[in-house]
């Protein structure tokens, strides 16, 4: 996906409708969707092979430019002239998102495009330490694609981390790690998760459902929970509670006298969790330690406005401030 931002200021209401008038200042564009996961991984120093489908259009070319700028290859990106590139345009005034406009198509890929995607992924698996599937339910990740790719990863011993979508209940069985938020987990188990006990029950149920090694449930202000098939109890990581001044990233001596983080935007926080988890697991870091790193990374990203990435220096500073 392509994320486009229109930045401006708003000081008055429109006489035509009870909506703010935004005076344009500038605009920017970033990788969105699974592209944001790839961008986070690249920013952390990983060698990333992105896969996806774009339209044969201007936003599709913009995605290729963004990938090039981030140092990622584009061989895994398939252009399909029958589709349009997914674009999410956000209008932001005074650090407040006013409205988002989405342009997209969600029907499943054609058989030919699906086969092309599968061939490209399989051809690259020999160079991978981990595979990440970030499913946004736009028709690109089909059941056959997920099943065949996971089967090949299992054969080769490549760990797979999956952020599933609620409409896809069975395609990801056998993944190494399933990552979802509390709302998505509640949908999977058909009940709301409003306390620690319900989260614990959901985590155990999802382990059995997906047949995976671990489940990570992100819980916003409550941090995240990790459930492993080898452990009878879940592991909880509390949300970052100290506010970090990003002017002092990489420097020692955080001010621990303040409490609570100033949250600008939760956009992409889940992508950061998935990215840091994936990189840590690719480096053979145990899942619990990987989850602590991922939670610290998410705490940095929510302090930024818009879809954002995290740098190694920022992650290191956040981990130091946990001590």
Asked if 239 and 299 touch (Cβ cutoff 8 Å), the reply is yes
What pLDDT is recorded for position 306? 58
Asked if 277 and 296 touch (Cβ cutoff 8 Å), the reply is no
- Tell me how far apart the alpha carbons of residues 272 and 293 are, in angstroms, rounded to a whole number: 10
Residue ranges of the chain whose pLDDT lies below 70: 167-170, 241-268, 305-307
- Tell me how far apart the alpha carbons of residues 142 and 108 are, in angstroms, rounded to a whole number: 7
What pLDDT is recorded for position 243? 43
pLDDT in tens, 155-180: 999 999 999 987 666 678 889 999 99
Place of tokens 């920017």: 28
What pLDDT is recorded for position 79? 96
- Tell me how far apart the alpha carbons of residues 144 and 178 are, in angstroms, rounded to a whole number: 18
309: nearest Cα among 297, 319, 296: 297
Sign of the torsion formed by the C-alpha atoms of 150, 192, 230 and 211:
negative
> For strand 2-13 and strand 20-31, is the pairing parallel, antiparallel, or unpaired?
antiparallel
pTM above 0.85, yes or no: yes
What pLDDT is recorded for position 268? 60
Of the residues 80, 135, 265, 271, only one is catalytic, namely 271
Place of tokens 């053979």: 284
Q: Is 68 a catalytic residue?
A: no
pLDDT in tens, 98-157: 999 999 999 999 999 999 999 999 999 999 999 999 999 999 998 899 999 999 999 999
């Amino acid at each position: 996906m392509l994320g486009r931002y229109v930045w401006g200021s708003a000081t008055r209401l429109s006489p035509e409708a009870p909506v703010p008038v935004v005076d344009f200042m500038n605009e920017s564009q970033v990788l969105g969707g699974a592209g944001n996961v790839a961008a986070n991984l690249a920013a952390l120093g990983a060698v990333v092979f992105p896969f996806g489908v774009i339209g044969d259009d201007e936003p599709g070319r913009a995605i290729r430019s963004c990938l090039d700028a981030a140092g990622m290859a584009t061989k895994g990106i398939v252009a399909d002239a029958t589709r349009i590139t997914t674009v999410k345009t956000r209008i932001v005034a005074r650090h407040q998102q006013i409205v988002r406009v989405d342009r997209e198509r969600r029907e499943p890929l054609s058989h030919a495009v699906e086969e092309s995607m599968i061939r490209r992924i399989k051809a690259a698996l020999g160079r991978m330490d981990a595979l990440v599937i970030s499913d946004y339910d736009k028709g690109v990740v089909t059941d056959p694609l997920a099943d065949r790719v996971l089967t090949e990863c299992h054969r080769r011993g490549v760990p797979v981390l999956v952020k599933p979508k609620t409409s896809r209940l069975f395609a990801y069985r056998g993944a190494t790690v399933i990552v979802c938020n509390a709302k998505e987990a509640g949908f999977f188990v058909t009940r709301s998760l409003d306390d620690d006990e319900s989260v614990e029950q959901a985590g155990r149920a999802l382990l059995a459902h997906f047949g995976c090694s671990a489940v990570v449930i992100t819980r916003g202000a409550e941090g995240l929970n990790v459930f492993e098939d080898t452990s009878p109890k879940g592991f909880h990581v509390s949300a970052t509670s100290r506010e970090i001044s990003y002017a002092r990233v990489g420097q020692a001596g955080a001010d621990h006298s303040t409490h609570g983080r100033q949250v600008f935007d939760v956009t992409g926080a889940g992508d950061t969790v998935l990215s840091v988890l994936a990189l840590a697991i690719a480096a053979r870091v145990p899942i619990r330690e990987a989850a602590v790193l991922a939670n610290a990374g998410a705490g940095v990203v929510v302090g930024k406005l818009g879809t954002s990435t995290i740098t190694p220096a920022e992650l290191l500073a956040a981990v130091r401030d946990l001590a």
